[in-house]
Amino acid sequence: MSDIGARKTEHLDIVLRGGVAGAGGCTGLDRVRFEHVAAPELDLDAIDLSAAFLGRRLKAPFLISSMTGGPERAEAINLALAETAGALGIAFGVGSQRIALECGASGGLTRSLRQRAGDVPILANLGAAQIRDASGLALARAAADMIEADALIIHLNPLQEAVQAGGDRDWTGVLAAIARTVAALPVPVIVKEVGCGISGTMALRLRDCGVAIIDVAGSGGTSWAAVEAERAVTARGKALAGAFRDWGIPTADAILAVRAAYPAATVIASGGLKSGIDAARALRLGADLAGFAAGILPSAIAGTDSLIARFETLIEELRVVCFCTGSGDLAALKSARLIGDGAPCVSTAPPGLSLRR
């Protein structure tokens, strides 16, 4: 387990150094351009940014996406995440709880997070490889219980595991394990990728497993293949991981594809989001929430005050987009007019969504 903790700390350091974005940092979101409304007939301060999630009302449609690190650093990070989420009324997900569950190094992953966060949604987190093990259900229940979570994220990272030395190579039975977990767990299950995206076809397979919430986590943000290339100690390992740096479905394409294939799903957009404007673009394409991870990591490490300030900026950027599109709330933003073709890469779009209007 000490090896896993060291690896997670190394992951964090590599992401902080930068230079590991996949697909040249292209999420496809920058091709979505709103038609400017020169006379919005709105009070900027009265715009309603609230959103429903897991039976609660968020003050803004934001999720602090899962971040991790070795147990020593994770405790401070998780504290900042919980306090920020509680102060601003947004959701947050913790990093993988594997170390906490298997060796007792909690990394701050205790019920104290609930005290810090108040009544905002908290999301537990385990990898698909852990879920498919014989002890998977017990681990899932323990992960949710240890932080009084409102849902459990099961993260999918097959590419990372494939190019990582000692990674989990056998992924047979993962979907069946997800279905078992959905059926047995007392809280909802969220399935997310970690930077390669989820397709419409996979969304349908997850629907058949009973999953109702999908985090697309598309490419254009952190490439875990690039991270593993940085970590590799052999030339062959570096070459293998590096070859897949740009692998994946861009975030914008993944949002469109999942929404079109599975209209009833709650869709979380993450993967390279950098601003409240990106969040607005993702919501317009069909997402319900916008998730931020690497882009806010430096603020999370700096502490609660820094992270709150960062999210206040993101919230205000989203508010200004609503104002300048004449959108009094998020429902109106979802039908705001666009200019240009705006189409990221896929032709499939949700019913009623035209990127040329």
As a whole number of Å, the CA-based R_g of the chain is 19
On the question of pLDDT at 39 being above 70, the answer is: yes
On the question of pLDDT at 126 being above 60, the answer is: yes
Q: Which domain holds residue 249?
A: 2-339
Tell whether 273 is covered by a domain: yes
Nearest to 245 by CA among 261, 232, 260: 232
User: CB neighbours of 350 closer than 8 A, spacing ≥ 6?
Assistant: 256, 259, 260, 263, 286
CATH of the domain at 76: 3.20.20.70
Q: Which residue has the higher pLDDT, 5 or 1?
A: 5
Tell whether 93 is covered by a domain: yes
On the question of pLDDT at 79 being above 80, the answer is: yes
Tell whether 344 is covered by a domain: no
Nearest to 188 by CA among 209, 173, 202, 172: 209
pLDDT at 357: 32
The tens digit of pLDDT for each residue in 245-282 reads 999 999 999 999 999 999 999 999 999 999 999 999 99
Tell whether 351 is covered by a domain: no
- For residues 137-150, give the mean pLDDT: 95
Q: How many CA atoms lie within 13 A of 279 on its CB side?
A: 28
Are 28 and 252 within 8 A, CB to CB? yes
User: CB neighbours of 313 closer than 8 A, spacing ≥ 6?
Assistant: 276
Band (69; pLDDT cuts 50, 70, 90): low
The tens digit of pLDDT for each residue in 205-256 reads 999 999 999 999 999 999 999 999 999 999 999 999 999 999 999 999 999 9
Are 248 and 299 within 8 A, CB to CB? no
pLDDT at 1: 47
pLDDT at 101: 85
Question: What's the mean per-residue pLDDT of the chain?
Answer: 90
Band (5; pLDDT cuts 50, 70, 90): low
Number of domains comprising the chain: 1
Tell whether 357 is covered by a domain: no
On the question of pLDDT at 351 being above 80, the answer is: no
Tell whether 125 is covered by a domain: yes
Band (346; pLDDT cuts 50, 70, 90): very low
Are 268 and 206 within 8 A, CB to CB? no
Tell whether 266 is covered by a domain: yes
* Least confident interval from 36-45, 119-128, 313-322, 336-345: 336-345
On the question of pLDDT at 300 being above 70, the answer is: yes
- For residues 34-49, give the mean pLDDT: 98
Tell whether 347 is covered by a domain: no
